[in-house]
């Protein structure tokens, strides 16, 4: 690898970190909210509401399976309305945030349905309000799987960021293709792959550790 590529690689790494962190933050919060909404409004649950549940459920089912590269294009009008443009890091990050929210929503819901309804019943019997039950029972009881789900989301977001990067948002994926793949520089491509693997491993290790700690009882 020629030395003048080093700052470019650094910049690409920075762009990826930026996209991934923003997406994880926004997608994490929105996905948690959506997932809680799905869980709570599900028939038989705390805030049972057929209409709301049906809408959320369909929305998640429709969005989640769309390949990200197609979603990115399809979301164009919305992106333009919100961000003002459909290209550039901001626009792509917006699309990633939306996708990540829907993906995480399902992960959250799947982890919450495994909570023993008995403990929620007990909290209700003690006079706790639904909001308090979410805060003090639902989330703490499912914290460990939620952390693992969030770690899983990270890998998905990293994947999305590579696609977004290639389409113009920059980042590691773009760098690997432009300077590695296109230049037949396999060593460079391999280097980027190794960097990604190391980052994923580190994050997975961190997530597993936190999840185990949350489960220590």
How many angstroms separate the CA atoms of 39 and 111, rounded? Answer: 9
For residue 162, which of 154, 173, 153 has the smallest C-alpha distance?
Answer: 173
Least Cβ distance, residue 59 to another protein (angstroms): 22
Residue from the set 26, 82, 128, 210 that interacts with another protein by CB under 8 A: 128
Least Cβ distance, residue 210 to another protein (angstroms): 14
- Which conformational region is residue 170 in: left (phi greater than 0), alpha (psi within -120 to 50 degrees), or beta? left
Check binding of 20 to another protein (CB under 8 A).
no
Least Cβ distance, residue 139 to another protein (angstroms): 9
The residue range among 61-69, 72-80, 123-131, 159-167 that interacts with another protein, by the rule CB under 8 A, is: 123-131
The token pair at 32 is 């948690």
Q: Kindly give, in sequence order, each residue whose CB lies less than 8 Å from that of residue 153, ignoring residues fewer than 6 positions away.
A: 24, 27, 28, 31, 100, 103, 104, 107
Residue from the set 40, 123, 169, 192 that interacts with another protein by CB under 8 A: 123
Check binding of 137 to another protein (CB under 8 A).
yes
Q: DSSP assignment, residue 152?
A: H
Least Cβ distance, residue 52 to another protein (angstroms): 17
Check binding of 143 to another protein (CB under 8 A).
yes
Least Cβ distance, residue 55 to another protein (angstroms): 19
Check binding of 112 to another protein (CB under 8 A).
no
The residue range among 28-36, 72-80, 134-142, 153-161 that interacts with another protein, by the rule CB under 8 A, is: 134-142
Query: Dihedral of CA 191/194/198/203: which sign?
Result: positive
For residue 90, which of 26, 24, 19 has the smallest C-alpha distance?
Answer: 19
Ordered alpha helix ranges (H), 47-185 = 50-63, 68-74, 76-83, 89-112, 117-125, 130-133, 139-141, 143-164, 172-175
141 or 185: CB nearest another protein: 141
The residue range among 5-13, 29-37, 131-139, 188-196 that interacts with another protein, by the rule CB under 8 A, is: 131-139
Check binding of 95 to another protein (CB under 8 A).
no
Report the interface residues with another protein, using CB under 8 A. 116, 118-119, 121-129, 132, 136-137, 140-141, 143, 214, 217
């Amino acid at each position: 690898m020629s030395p003048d590529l080093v700052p470019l690689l650094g910049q690409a790494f920075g762009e990826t970190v930026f996209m991934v962190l923003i997406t994880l933050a926004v997608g994490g919060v929105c996905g948690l909210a959506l997932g809680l909404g799905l869980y709570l409004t599900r028939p038989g649950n705390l805030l049972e509401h057929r209409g709301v549940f049906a809408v959320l459920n369909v929305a998640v089912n429709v969005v989640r399976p769309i390949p990200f590269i197609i979603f990115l294009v399809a979301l164009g009008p919305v992106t333009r309305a919100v961000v003002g443009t459909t290209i550039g890091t901001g626009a792509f990050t917006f699309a990633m945030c939306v996708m990540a929210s829907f993906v995480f929503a399902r992960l959250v819901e799947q982890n919450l349905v495994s909570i023993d309804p008995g403990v929620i019943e007990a909290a209700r019997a003690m006079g706790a309000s639904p909001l308090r039950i979410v805060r003090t029972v639902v989330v703490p009881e499912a914290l460990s799987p939620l952390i693992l789900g969030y770690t899983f989301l990270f890998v998905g977001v990293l994947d999305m960021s590579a696609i977004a990067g290639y389409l113009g948002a920059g980042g590691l994926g773009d760098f690997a293709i432009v300077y590695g793949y296109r230049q037949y520089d396999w060593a460079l491509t391999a280097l980027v792959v190794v960097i990604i693997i190391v980052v994923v491993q580190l994050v997975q290790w961190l997530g597993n550790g936190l999840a185990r700690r949350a489960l220590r009882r």
